[in-house]
Structure 1
Amino acid sequence: MASRGSLQSAEAIRRGLFHRRLAIIFGLQLLAIVIVCLMGVYDVAPVSAVLALIVIISALAWLAVRRQWAPVSRLARVVGDWDEQSLDLEGWSPDQLPRRTDADVATLASSLYGFANRIAGYNQRERNFTRDASHELRSPLTVIKMSADMLADDPSLGEFGQRSVQRIKRSTREMEALVEALLILARESDNGLTEEDFVVNDVIRHELPDVLEMLEGRPITLELEEPARFALHGSPRVFSVLCWQLIRNACQQAEGGTVVVTVMPGVVTVTHRGEPLARSSANRHGFELAIAQRISERFHWPLELQTREGRRHIARIRFPESTSLPV
């Protein structure tokens, strides 16, 4: 108990060290200036010497304060030069602080060191996950797709078997889109995503065959309206995943009808017209919208959801930095 009490006492003394040093510095400065001023008043020293001494005393006090502030300045430089992707945290170590550093500064340095270590570990796990998951999840999906295509070409497969194969292919495509979306959202930054100038209309048209394959056997039709054309600079893969999630949600929420994808200047809308699901089933498929919302927030593409008369459900994505193209 005595040892613990002495440690706490030493910690308390050390914690106020910075303030006491500042008090001593400014107290000595004030005393020296008073003495010098008295020397000038009683003609012990000429005015020029008094002024020179005051300047020298102030400069020495400033240097002393600057020396006391050096550990804080060092921490500020380390934080300013911090690269979140770097695993080298040698400059963050509290062991590099001077031995008589104030406890508040030492606590701040130790907390920052722990925080930087957690961020570095998180970034490393993110890279490992996106790399491993990208391979381990996509490879079996590719095998399932190839096997389903081979089964579909088998002439001995009956009607029931063909329907089952089509369901497998449809579910596989949906799983591919989900994996793609989750891998995009798993990344803290946009690293690994190829950015380029692309035409929105071309990307949507390229995705239509997969959507039609997903809708095979369902009383839902898909239409693409293109009253405008525009281009974006970014990742076409992210854009296609976002549109896929909105189209998939519109199809999941419908018993039948038409899903219309419309391209307007700087805007893409996905509209469902037709018979919606029963109220008891309508809440089963909100995951696609949650993913779309997170992608829109990540890449600053505002997403608006509306429900209008005539059972028209509208999802509208706005692209503030789009470039209009001739139709």
Structure 2
Amino acid sequence: MSNLSGAPRRSGPYWLNPATWHLRTRLILVSMALLVAICGAVGIVSYASMDLFLTRQLDKQLTQAAHRATEFGRPPSGGPAGRDPLEARGQGAGTINARIFGSTVSSAGFIDDDGVRADLSAEDKAVLLDLPGNGLPVDRSLSNGDYRLVATATPYGDIIVTGLPLAAKQGTEASLVWTMVLVSLGGLGLIGLAGTVMIRRTMRPLEQLSEVATKVSRLPLDAGEVALAVRVPKTAAHPGTEVGSVGHALNLMLDNVSNALEARQRSETKVRQFVADASHELRTPLTAIRGYTELLRMTENFSEDGRKSLGRVQSQSERMTALVEDLLLLARLDEGKPTEFGDVDLTQLVVETVSDEKVMAPGHLWQLQLPDEPITVRGDASQLHQVLANLLSNARKHTPDGTTVTTGVMRSADGAAVITVTDDGGGIAPEFQDRIFSRFARADAARTGTEGSSGLGLSIVESIVQAHGGSVEVSSRPGWTEFAVRLPLP
């Protein structure tokens, strides 16, 4: 079963921390504990009732045996001599009888299993002398077992002791105990299995709710078109029950979220279409501005200030054209249009792109780390060139002259091609690294530089790399920054 409250960190072994137990486990254990308590209470009451019944029955038999022994052993003339109480009729096997006169025990013995009289030991006689003569039954342990004894004083000055063995009573009680234990264990086992099945079936709707929530939590809902088709099954979404009400409410929430995602997607599509259309429409006037600017520069004579102003117009139109081209590229990537892939030699691509950057930024120190053998991937050469050009341009724009920029190509241990662009500039602020690949994200204060930035370069890098089935990461600290592009090898 999925954890309904998430997956908290467990401290110590699982079974030693009840807070980490599944709800199903808790219900089963609580049910079993209650059943054990009930069985224990029933067993104790049954044992006490049986003990009381057997004791009363034994006392009744003991009273009758004592009466027979007293009547049979009565002295004929009131003296200490009299018949042996064991010779009285009706005395069963194991019966003890003795006559006590003062501190002397006479006629002490018991009937063995063969019906023959046997004498008591000195230790047993000492136990008999210690009995209270109030006629109340007491339990004592003798050499031949446990007994229920009663000492009855006669009118003739002697005491007749009569005892019956407790073996039959103890055997009956032991049988009762074993019967209760075995029946309770069997019942607990059957009830435990049946309860586990029932609890599992009862908890199944909660598991379905957990599965649905887990699936939704793993969906990429932040951007793009999301098909939120997962729902709680109808069997777990009946409003008439507690769990069903939760399932029904979860389905309503998912419907609301799905509608919101569809509305967001429609809005994003409209915005992207507007950006694509606007960018496309801006290309024509920007081309005209650049053309007329070149024409004016070639055909007209301007003052020094006029030439500077015309140059400014031309540079800004070129910057605007580059921004429009970036927006168009992002729009095409967002539409997910298939790209024609071919074999691209990353080693040659790095050498050519770094050579271009050397011309544009001779004040930086450009270094290469290349493998002995070329590394080839499947991709769009122009787009991968733009990825590398944007990363190198980013390092050039945001670091001062004298910065060392190292570009490397290698094969990773997991079979991927890795392109790294590393510089020893000022680094990127930690709070900006999480959103550095977002569109129009700019943090020029984090790295020095004089050139402006539209904030689209790294977003274009991430979009192109993802379209090629790869990933891009950034790591930075003061004095060291590295962008790593991972591309799958064919």
Cα separation, 2, equivalents of 1:240 and 1:122: 38
In the alignment, is residue 139 of structure 1 matched against residue 277 of structure 2?
Answer: yes
Does the 8 Å contact 1:268/1:316 carry over to 2? yes
Aligned to 1:267: 419
Aligned-residue offset at 1:239: 5.2
State which structure, 1 or 2, has the greater radius of gyration over its C-alpha atoms. Answer: 2
Q: Determine the C-alpha separation between the residues in 1 that align with 2:294 and 2:383.
A: 40
In terms of fraction of residues, the more helix-rich structure is 1
Question: What do residues 89-145 of structure 1 show as CA deviations (whole Å, max 9, x unaligned)?
Answer: 54278981463426xx966x5785576457535643553354333321122222222
- The CA deviation string for residues 134-158 of structure 1, in whole angstroms up to 9 with x for no partner, is 3211222222223333444459831
**CA drift at 1:72:** 1.4
Measured after TM superposition, the shift of residue 61 of structure 1 is 2.3
CA contact (8 A) 2:408 2:419 kept: yes
Matching residue's letter, 2:483: I
User: Tell me, which stretches of 5 or more residues in structure 2 are unaligned?
Assistant: 1-23, 48-173, 220-225, 298-306, 411-417, 426-443
Which of 229, 243, 246 is 1:88 aligned to?
229
Query: What secondary structure does 2:317 align onto?
Result: helix
1:251 and 1:259 in contact (8 A); partners too = no
The equivalences for 1:216-255 within 5 A come to 227=370, 229-232=374-377, 242-250=387-395, 252-253=397-398
1:317 is paired with a residue whose SS is strand
Between 117-126 and 134-143, the greater mean CA deviation after superposition = 117-126
Structure 1 counterpart SS, 2:421: strand
Question: Partner of 1:9 in structure 2?
Answer: none
The answer (yes or no) to whether the contact 2:475–2:483 under 8 Å persists in 1 is: yes
The answer on 1:167 being equivalent to 2:333 is no
Cα offset for 1:74? Answer: 2.3
Aligned to 1:11: none
Distance 1:240 1:72, change over 3 A: farther
- In the superposition, relative to structure 1, how do residues 117 and 246 fare at CA in structure 2: closer, same or farther (>3 Å)? farther
Q: Does 1:61 align with 2:195?
A: yes
The answer to whether the 8 Å contact 2:28/2:192 transfers is: no
Structure 1 pair 81–87 and aligned structure 2 pair: CA distance change class (3 A): closer
Partner of 2:287: 149
Q: 1:81 to 1:149 in 2, by over 3 A?
A: closer
Partners of 1:201 and 1:226 within 8 A in 2: no
Whether the aligned pair in 1 keeps the contact of 2:237 and 2:248 (CA below 8 Å) is: no
1:303 aligns with 2:474: yes
Q: 2:35 maps to which residue? A: 29
Q: Structure 1: which 5+ residue stretches go unaligned?
A: 1-17, 213-217, 309-313
When residues 226 and 21 of structure 1 are mapped into structure 2, their CA distance, relative to the original with a 3 A threshold, is closer
Aligned length: 285
User: What's the counterpart of residue 75 of structure 1?
Assistant: 209
Equivalences for residues 45-60 of structure 1 within 5 A: 52-60=186-194
Contact 2:475 2:482 in 1 (8 A): yes
Who is 2:265 aligned against? 127
Distance 1:224-1:128 versus aligned 2 partners, 3 A rule: farther
| Cα distance in 2 between the residues matched to 1:69 and 1:278 | 56
Larger relative contact order (Cα-Cα within 8 Å, sequence gap ≥ 6):
1
User: What is the TM-score of this pair, normalised by structure 2?
Assistant: 0.40
Residue identity (%) = 12
Task: Give me the CA root mean square deviation.
Answer: 6.1
Q: Is the 8 A contact 1:93 1:113 kept in 2?
A: no
Conserved in 1, the CA contact under 8 Å of 2:212 and 2:232?
yes
* Secondary structure at the counterpart of residue 303 of structure 1: strand
